[in-house]
Amino acid sequence: MIAKYYQLLKEFIEIPSISIDKEHWTDIKKTAKRLKKVFEEHKMEVQFIEWYWNPIIIAYYEQNKSLPTCTIYWNYDIVAAYKKDWRKEDPFSLYIWKENIYWRWVSDSKWQLLIHMVSIFELIKEKNLWYNIRFFIEWEKLTWSENTKKFIIENKEKLNSDFFLISDWNLVNNNPCIWTSTRWHINISLIIKTANNQINPWIYWWIVPNAIHEICKLLSKLHWANNQINIPYFYYDVEEIPFNTILSNKKIEFEIEKIQKGLWMENIFKEKSFDYISQIWLRPTVQVTSIKSWYNDKVSRITIQNKAIANISIKTVKKQNSEKIIKAFEQRISSNIPNYVEYDIKTDQISQWTEIDKKNKYFWKAESFLQDIFQTEVIQLNSGITIPILNTINTNITNNILLIPLSNNESNSRWSSENLSIKLIEKWFLFTLNFFSTQLQLF
């Protein structure tokens, strides 16, 4: 089984199925067709759906209608990776160093789905599978899954399940975790213009406004010196973190020095009155993710730019209202922008807070197995990330959702040192086999 897993892992990660790059459409299709074949080789019926933009795969194994049905969801999106950014090898070529596997997308996506796939295949072979199984795989998460959401709404019967299992992101200090919520998410683009054309610096070097300077001045006003957000009423609807939650979070060891070393950085910021875990998972934040200025779509070193755009990601918490936040952001910009600068604000990819029902029996079962296998208390996390289709599943299919991260804490997902801890693979196989096995049912 382990040999089969490594074979598939190597095979799939070597295909650069970069979903946000049209040049890799053939790679996406190649991956999807290979997945279809793998499922069929293991006695699963497969639907290969192509009319919702990137492919969607639904693989079925139904053995008894009286058994509960689990849908295992995941995506095969890949962010681009280039050899010049990787320190040792081709990003799509495996290498092992010490106790870790290094590869592009080895920690954040493909290995997690393959753990579940290979385990299910083994249980089917042994006739020891307790559930009816569906795999639901899409290639659209990085573009916010709008077509996938449409597919779910229009094809509820194909995905009808007792519960969903989703594995994403990292553990905390390599302790087992279950998410109990995901955040609101708002993407904002701030576009400014200081003149109608780019400007020749040799003539007007010191006397004209520079769009790059102006947008940096605006962005610098979004935070106070104490790391809090300087947007009107931003914290108005933010609930106090319960005292018991703060105590629980403070017990979680946060290895600052190890994280700094792994990320090659000198400092970590947080608000003074909060521990690191509470800051990451339970406090809202505003982050500038990119600033761009252009001249004929190319970077110019000798031109004063007349136009610039900043992309800003806002993570809010439970009771914050996205519409109020957007209006407050616009107010902050309009009150600080000089009269010689034109601006426009565009918003997209607004997602909602999702709260997981911790009382459902599948949550309890997963927590019990995790505790037995890892021999430590399971951490319940309010996640700081967003899964775009989660609310669509919650509204249209089931509110019984398990969110269980598998990757090691220092996996550095999506970066040039992205890695997978070999030690964790055996534990996650043990968890998945036990969770789905007929012989180990707790209810």
Residues 104-128, mean pLDDT to the nearest whole number: 87
At 293-332, the pLDDT tens digits run 865 555 566 788 899 999 999 988 888 888 899 999 999 9
Q: Is residue 216 part of a domain?
A: yes
What is the C-alpha separation between 326 and 231, in angstroms, rounded? 10
DSSP 57: E
174 and 201 housed in the same domain: no
Cα end-to-end span (Å), the chain = 27
Q: What gap in Å lies between CA 271 and CA 286, rounded to an integer?
A: 13
Give the DSSP H/E element, type plus range, for residue 408.
Answer: none
Domain shared by 14 and 38, yes or no:
yes
More confident residue, 286 or 269: 286
Percent of the chain with pLDDT over 90: 39
pLDDT band at 443 (very low <50, low <70, confident <90, very high): very low
Instruction: Examine the domain organization and report whether 212 and 144 are in the same domain.
Output: no
98 shares a domain with 27: yes
Asked if residue 34 has pLDDT above 70, the reply is: yes
Mean pLDDT of the region 41-51: 92
Is the pLDDT at 345 greater than 90? The verdict is yes
Q: Average of pLDDT values for 361-383?
A: 90
- Provide the CATH number for the domain around residue 50: 3.40.630.10
Task: Say if CB 86 and CB 92 are below 8 A apart.
Answer: no
Please give the pLDDT value at position 441.
60
Does residue 388 form part of some domain? yes
Q: Note whether 92 and 411 are within 8 A (CB).
A: no
* Average pLDDT, rounded, for the chain: 85
pLDDT in the model for residue 92:
76
Q: Among the three residues 351, 377, 409, which one is the final residue of a domain in this structure?
A: 351
Between 224 and 254, whose confidence is greater? 224
Whether 273 maps to a domain, the answer reads: no
* pLDDT exceeds 90 at position 229: yes
158 and 19 inside one domain? yes
Cβ-based neighbours of 162, under 8 Å, separated by 6 or more:
68, 69, 70, 362, 398, 400
Specify whether 63 is located in the same domain as 150.
Answer: yes
As a whole number of angstroms, the distance between CA 185 and CA 182 comes to 9
- Asked if 47 and 178 sit in the same domain, the reply is yes
In a domain, 419, yes or no: yes
Look at residue 262 and tell me if it is in a domain.
no
pLDDT (0 to 100) of residue 35: 94
Q: Are residues 22 and 160 in the same domain?
A: yes
For residues 339 and 369, membership in a common domain is answered with: no
Q: Provide the pLDDT for residue 180.
A: 87
pLDDT band at 356; cut points 50, 70, 90: confident
Residue 354 gets which letter from DSSP?
E
pLDDT at residue 88 is higher than 60: no
Taking residues 14-21, report their average pLDDT: 78
Boundary residue ending a domain (317, 351, 385): 351
89 is a domain residue: yes
Question: Within a domain: residue 155?
Answer: yes
CB 408 within 8 A of CB 421: yes
Cα–Cα distance measured from residue 177 to residue 383, given in angstroms and rounded to the nearest whole number: 10
Domain of residue 19, residue span: 2-182+353-440
Total structural domains in the chain? 2
Q: How many CA atoms lie within 13 A of 45 on its CB side?
A: 7
CB contact at 8 A, 167 and 406: yes
In a domain, 217, yes or no: yes
Residue 96 has pLDDT above 70, yes or no: yes
Q: What is the CATH number of the domain that holds 346?
A: 3.30.70.360
Instruction: Based on the fold, state whether residues 111 and 192 are members of the same structural domain.
Output: no
SS3 13: helix
Residues 111 and 146 in one domain: yes
Q: What is the pLDDT of residue 199?
A: 78
CA–CA gap between residue 359 and residue 356 (Å, rounded)? 9
With 70 as the cut, is the pLDDT of residue 87 above it? no
User: Of the ranges 226-230, 274-278, 409-413, which one carries the lowest mean pLDDT score?
Assistant: 409-413
Tally Cβ neighbours within 10 Å of residue 85.
Answer: 11
Residue 413: pLDDT over 80: no
* Residue finishing a domain among 296, 318, 351: 351
CA distance 150 to 145: 9
Digit-coded pLDDT (tens) for 248-283: 777 776 667 766 666 677 777 888 888 888 888 888
pLDDT band of residue 222 (cuts 50, 70, 90) is very high
Type of residue at 353: W
Is 80's pLDDT higher than 70? no
Residue 343 has pLDDT above 60, yes or no: yes
Is the same domain home to 97 and 205?
Answer: no
